[in-house]
């Protein structure tokens, strides 16, 4: 099936290249780690991602097709909420701005679960992917890492855990689709050009990546992201199922 995620990542040449690309900031003393956390995603921003597709005759995907609903103890990320003949990509992110953040190590984590089991016999709810990432924007490019859980039950790689390598998503493990809570942990060390991903405490090999993209802001910042892409509907669909992932207990340590 066609790949609809159009992010393009480039591999950095190493820690030296990374350090040279970061904007000059004053040398910092050893920083005392600072942690932010929350039960749900209150205060996060919801936007459209780039994993979008509209079948023939369907209006383009827009913000009305996605939603984040905060429930106090967890949040619901919903994609294709009106069940149109589209594939929608919802991103919820928390951002911390400031050039000083570009010299800190960032460790972000949260728990997620599916409230349904994707299946070729499913009705109102099904899925394409669950994704997430941790990225540092330096005003020109993104540094960081991302994971993807493949949940389209018609695909041969159903259940694959993938990471972005610079050319494509690459399989880095497997998680049997279920409705249990899972924990993702993402680490970005910008001054060393190093990232780490752990799923349920198990390390997943992941490369350091650099993202070239169009971004209206030149202000440095860091983003922790949770994402979901609804099922690819086919070329002539007038209806497609909604997708939902639940997220809770996020934590982000900088230092």
DSSP H/E element including 75: strand 75-79
Q: Please report, for residues 73, 164, 172, 239, the alpha-carbon distance to residue 65 in angstroms, rounded to integers and kept in the order given.
A: 24, 26, 30, 13
- Rounded mean pLDDT, 213-240: 93
Average pLDDT over residues 78-97: 98
Phi–psi pair at 133, nearest 5 degrees: -165, 170
The answer to whether the predicted template modeling score (pTM) of the entire model surpasses 0.85 is yes
11-25, 42-56, 126-140: least confidently modelled range: 11-25
Report whether pLDDT(122) > 50: yes
Contacts of 234 (CB under 8 A, 6+ apart): 55, 85
pLDDT at 170: 95
The whole-number average pLDDT for the span 181-196 is 97
**Beta partners for 89?**
229
Residue 29 pLDDT exceeds 50: no
């Amino acid at each position: 099936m066609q790949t609809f995620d159009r992010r393009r990542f480039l591999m950095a040449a190493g820690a030296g290249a990374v350090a040279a690309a970061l904007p000059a900031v004053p040398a910092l003393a050893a920083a005392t780690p600072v942690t932010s956390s929350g039960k749900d995603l209150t205060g996060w921003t919801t936007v459209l991602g780039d994993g979008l597709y509209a079948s023939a005759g369907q209006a383009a995907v827009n913000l009305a097709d996605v939603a984040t609903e905060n429930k106090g103890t967890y949040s619901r990320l919903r994609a294709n909420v009106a069940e149109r003949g589209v594939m929608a990509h919802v991103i919820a992110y928390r951002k911390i701005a400031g050039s000083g953040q570009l010299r800190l190590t960032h460790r972000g984590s949260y728990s997620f679960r599916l409230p349904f089991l994707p299946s070729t016999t499913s009705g109102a709810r099904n899925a394409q992917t669950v994704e997430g990432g941790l990225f540092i924007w330096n005003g020109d490019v993104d540094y960081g890492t991302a994971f993807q859980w493949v949940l389209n039950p018609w695909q041969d790689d159903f259940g694959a855990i993938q990471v972005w390598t610079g050319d494509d998503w690459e399989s880095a493990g497997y998680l049997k689709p279920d409705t249990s809570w899972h924990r993702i942990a993402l680490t970005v060390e910008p001054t060393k050009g190093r990232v780490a991903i752990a799923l349920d405490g198990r390390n997943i090999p992941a490369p350091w990546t650099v993202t070239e993209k169009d971004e209206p802001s030149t202000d440095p910042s860091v983003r922790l992201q949770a994402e979901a892409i609804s099922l690819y509907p086919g070329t002539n669909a007038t209806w497609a199922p909604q997708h939902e992932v639940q997220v809770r207990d996020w934590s982000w340590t900088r230092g």
